Amino acid sequence: MEISGKGVFLTGGARGIGRKLIEALLAKGARVFFCDINESVGRETESELRKQYGDDRVIFQQCDVTKADQFKATFDMAVSNFGAVDVCCNNAGIMDESVPEKMIAINTTAQIRGSQLALEHMRRDRGGRGGVIVSTVSMGGLISSCVAPVYVASKHAMIGYMQSMAFSVYQKEQGVRWISLCPFGVNTNFISPKEEQVIDKDVFLATLDVFGVIELEDVAGAFMRLLQNENNNGAIMESMRMAFTKVWFLEKVLASLENVALNKPAQQVSVYVAASKAVDGNTDGVFANGSCTHTRTPVEDVTWWKVFIRCLWTTLELSEKLINRLKPFLPPDAQ
């Protein structure tokens, strides 16, 4: 897909991942209409980006995506400004376990609403010109976590929705591609939550410590690759610092870490470290596995031996970090 000249609509673009995606799109020649609940930061972002890319390339509108009428009016504004929206990025999201209804309203209901607005506008079978609908989901949409269960539930729902739409029998005639971004631990406000936002902040931070944090550039780079590649309807982009780490592997280690940090007896803890299972073959960014397509954040161009070394390294690094984390909880004779 040629990005230059395309009209993009994006939610939650005032800062963080949303802002970085906007910058990447603008750099490739797109025009971006973005909204955010935060008016002051949104305006600031708009003025900074206008200085760099020109007034007609980027437009901000304050909007709370949980307000259906406001959201629709904002989407319509994007259409009337650009003539058409070719790419819709449902990105706004929060992680706050203390407000489950609000979190589901933003992370799930509003993302679905944004997708429905975009689909109605884009679908070729009703006169639209097709397009791409992107959801910033999370690795939380693919794994479990006892420190952020409602967040995880809100994101699992989005994976269910995005995959159902991507593999719908109507997808071809509608001419709309569906892409899910599933990063883990991105360097935004998300990685320093307040106590009440997660069930156990220490465990949350320990998890980030073990798995590492990725930079906004990593997410934006992989996003742009996905957007430009026409053959990846249903893609789920898993991006995390430890490339080539499979989801089940992450989940098992995460569960162990959580168990230990939550003071469960050490005997109940089993740590799975299986480097060979962590390599899943295709490393060129996108591969098909039946019903859906997974992709990894491309770290570099890799050959099989680079993958092997990387996995070995990842396993060693992960094991060492885990062992250090687990040590205080083990019985004295096991230390």
The footprint of ligand NAD (CB under 6 A) covers 11-12, 14-18, 36-38, 63-66, 91-94, 106, 136, 138, 183, 185-186, 188-191
170 is catalytic: no
Q: In angstroms, give the least distance from the CB of 293 to ligand NAD.
A: 19
Judged on CB neighbours under 10 Å (0-12, 13-18, 19+), 334 is: exposed
The region, left, alpha or beta by phi > 0 then psi within -120 to 50, assigned to residue 11 is: beta
H-type helices in the chain, by residue range?
16-27, 39-53, 68-82, 100-104, 111-122, 149-166, 171-174, 201-211, 216-228, 247-261, 275-278, 304-326
Closest of 59, 57, 73, 152 to residue 117, by C-alpha = 73
Sheet strands side by side (includes 235-239): 58-62, 31-36, 7-11, 87-90, 131-136, 176-183, 235-239, 293-296, 286-288
Name which of 168 and 192 has its Cβ closer to ligand NAD. 192
| Secondary structure of 245-258 as H, E, C letters | CCHHHHHHHHHHHH
Q: Which is nearer to ligand NAD, 189 or 289 (CB)?
A: 189
Which one, 138 or 245, has the nearer CB to ligand NAD?
138
For the bound state, the minimum distance from the C-beta of residue 327 to ligand NAD, rounded and expressed in Å, comes to 27
61 vs 256 by CB, closer to ligand NAD: 61
- The token duo for 134 is 């992107």
- Work out how close the CB of 273 gets to ligand NAD at its nearest, in angstroms, rounded to a whole number: 24
Shortest approach of ligand NAD to residue 36 CB, angstroms? 5
Smallest distance from ligand NAD to CB 213, Å:
8
Q: Specify the residue, 12 or 131, whose C-beta has the smaller distance to ligand NAD.
A: 12
Longest dimension (CA), the chain: 71
Active site residue: 53, 151, 161, 272, which one? 151
Catalytic residue numbers?
151
